[in-house]
Structure 1
């Protein structure tokens, strides 16, 4: 299987279809069945104490799998999350970007399954691990 969308095309699609997240994410690396994305952490992502909130970590994991799926199948805005399991393993560094390492484990006709490790920039150990399933709309 080969990529159907480039990193630039994915970002253009995301900003066009989901303007509410414009400027929050960046793609650092893209390959077949994998992507590395960054959450550009701002004040809106922080919880008391200055660390990144759980919902922001979930958002990064979710967007990462979504973009990995779209990179492989093309621009299908109606692909949706059907399941997510996330383990928050350690506290992220204060006011620091998060980086998601995502790989697709399965890409079928109707379902895609991905896993994501989320790192706080500068930390060697992951702060979260997520497993997500996406439903792919019929062609």
Structure 2
């Protein structure tokens, strides 16, 4: 899948847009608005977790066969600095693919600075 579009589900509902997804990688664009902020006025960590999970899921889907469905089984997000209103980008890539588990990484950047780094394991389920 290459090209721009919504990822579907919750991530699309909050405004995530898939810019590219191909060959074990994916890139998501997101515009942080006031509705995405926590009481401290910074980007809510749950929004970031949703974005990295979605980007990594999109990356995994570029390598799955017919009937394989990736399901997040582990997600670790390291928050490096607070996000603010404005554009950000999430870039995800496969690190290792096994018969039943796949490991991915994702990085979030805003204004040329790293906001978060994530690692996830996806189980490959049969439909």
Instruction: With the length of structure 1 as denominator, give the TM-score of the two structures.
Output: 0.77
1:42 — aligned with what? Answer: 33
Aligned partner of residue 57 in structure 2, secondary structure: helix
After TM superposition, the structure 1 = structure 2 runs for residues 1-139 of structure 1, keeping only pairs within 5 Å, are: 5-7=1-3, 11=5, 14-15=7-8, 18=9, 20-23=10-13, 24-73=15-64, 78-92=69-83, 94-120=84-110, 122=111, 124-138=112-126
Q: How many residues align?
A: 126
Higher helix share: 1
4+ runs deviating over 4 angstroms: 74-78
Higher strand share: 2
Pairwise CA distance, 1:132? 0.5
Compute the RMSD of aligned alpha carbons.
Answer: 2.3
Q: TM-score, normalised by structure 2?
A: 0.83
Query: What is the Cα deviation at residue 77 of structure 1?
Result: 7.9
